Structure 1
Amino acid sequence: MPWHALPDLLLVLSLGAALGFFGGLFGIGGGIIAVPLFIIGFGMDQALAQGTALVLMVPNLLIGWWRYNQHNKLPWLAIAAIGVSATFTTWLTAKLAVRLDQEVLHWIFNLFVLVVGFRMLLLRNNPSAGHAQADAPNTAAMPIVGVLGGTSMGLLGMGGGLVATPMLTTVFKHTQTTAQALSLALVTPSSVMALTTYANAHRVNWELGLPLAFGGLFTVSAGVAVAHYLPEKALRRSFAVVMIIAAIWLILQSLHTH
């Protein structure tokens, strides 16, 4: 590698480390931050940004799920139910995403992130947080969560956790960290399927994605560890603010472009 390229490589590795930390902190794989960054900072179209973000997300999600599973022992039947249903749905919707008009896909992404962010910000504390049922997932209901989360993963290349986590905390009354562990069981296999589909459609920038992924490997565990020490309300609000800022940033950029 030429010496003049070393600063660029170090910058990309550092960026990957930052994305990995925040992905572990919020249990989202870093895609919510990476996709806007790729669109605005690197000039990618929507599908290419989503596909490249998946290169970063896959290893981060694998490590994140492993670490969350150490803290939250969940039934394997529930994990299989949510993971299999999400992966199949991801495969179907990812095939649609790589064929959609890029402007349409871009606005779907922007509005999705904005709506979920405001919903999380305004959500009240889960009154059942910390109760025993938080560790006993309703296995029969997990495929419903899996289908909804998998649709987001395939169509947007991310967002499975953004759909699943609020549903698991409000409808199924899990704590935030348990919900994030279940969400990771959903998005981890789904992200592998989504990456495969985007890559087959040549919608992945491997030269950028691989160094980012490598940088993130060293910081995901730290993000997960911090998440278990933060107050639940603070964690949820931080999660929401990051999404809202990213969505507004993209919407303003889109309006300026037009």
Structure 2
Amino acid sequence: MLISLILGALVGAVLGLTGAGGGILAVPALVVGMGWPMQQATPVALVAVAGSAAIGALEGFRRGLVRYRAALLMAISGVPLTTLGVRLAHLIPQRTLLTLFALTMLVVGARLLLQALRPVPVGSPASSLCVGRVNPTTGRIAWSWPAGLALASTGAVTGLMTGLLGVGGGFVIVPMLRKFTDVSMHGIVATSLMVIALVGTGGVFATLFAGTRAPLDATLWFACTTALGMAAGRAASRFLSAGHVQLGFAVVLGCVAFGLLAKAAFGV
């Protein structure tokens, strides 16, 4: 029990510091710290990450940052794909699943490291792939078929990764929204948190319907301490440089990824 409390607090703190991407550490924390297989760790991690994301999304709503139409479209596209991801997770051997997760973490860590070392200047032009531009008059995204397709595809990939690896999907949503829209970074993170909350909840139900059972007490304690840790992380983030947080998170992801590769290769 104590281990799950400590792990939840640490995952929550990282989630609070990094915004929408820290949930990727929830499954490795449970796999390594609790000795669970990934299939068992998935619903516990998703309950914690989805609950914490919901708290962050509510704060974003209060501040008027959430693009709820875009978030709902991504969620509607993503939730059905969580079932497919869960089925694939039960078919793939444990070592292969761990390797896939570790490689995903390495890709995310490498991208964050490059961004930290070569930050995008403030006021830089929007991506050439931007299809969802904010109307300066209404302050809303100007909807079009390309914009809808881009957001729906982002949601579908998020749902598949959520079901397969038990991650929130912020590492997919945030970079895709940065490429496909010109929404502010604060708005992107807030919108991503809403999508994570909705798709993560769908992933929890998908894993339960697939027959996965997780200990209720450990799940509740892990979720509660993750939420508390996230609150502490968000408070601490005001005093830390975003670049330093990103750099530190990239290093942590790399270390955890190599640990998972070792576990997959040697069963340690």
TM-score, normalised via structure 2 length? 0.79
> Quick one: which of 193, 200, 203 aligns to 1:184?
193
What one-letter code is carried by the residue in structure 2 that aligns with 1:69? Answer: F
Distance change (3 Å), C-alpha of 1:42 and 1:25: same
TM-score, structure 1 normalization:
0.82
Gaps of 5+ in 1: 1-7
Could you tell me which residue of structure 2 aligns to residue 76 of structure 1? 68
CA deviation profile, 1:74-107 (whole Å, cap 9, x unmatched): 3332221122212222233223323332222221
Q: Distance in 1 between matches of 2:231 and 2:4?
A: 19
Spell out the pairing of 1:202-213 with structure 2 (5 A cutoff). Answer: 202-213=212-223
* Pair 1:242–1:179, CA change in 2 (3 A): farther
Question: Unpaired runs of 5+ in structure 2?
Answer: 127-132
More divergent stretch after superposition (128-137 vs 46-55): 128-137
Deviation at 1:125, TM superposition (A): 2.3
Q: Which residue of 2 aligns with 1:64?
A: 56
Deviation at 1:118, TM superposition (A): 0.5
Root mean square deviation of aligned Cα: 2.9
Contact 1:94 1:154 in 2 (8 A): yes
In structure 1, what is the Cα distance between the partners aligned to 2:266 and 2:24? 21
> What displacement does 1:153 show?
0.9
Matches within 5 A, 1:138-157: 140=148, 141-157=150-166
Deviation at 1:29, TM superposition (A): 7.2
Give CA deviations for 1:14-56 in whole Å, capped at 9, x if unaligned.
Answer: 4322322222222347542222122222221121122221232
Partner of 1:122: 114
Equivalent residues of 2:86, 2:164 under 8 A apart: yes
Q: Using the TM superposition, name which of 186-195 and 130-139 deviates more.
A: 130-139
C-alpha separation between the residues in 2 aligned to 1:32 and 1:173? Answer: 25
Q: Deviations over 1:188-216 (max 9, x none)?
A: 11111111121232243333221111222
Q: Sequence identity of aligned pairs in percent?
A: 30
Partner of 1:110: 102
Following superposition, the deviation at residue 137 of structure 1 comes to: 4.7
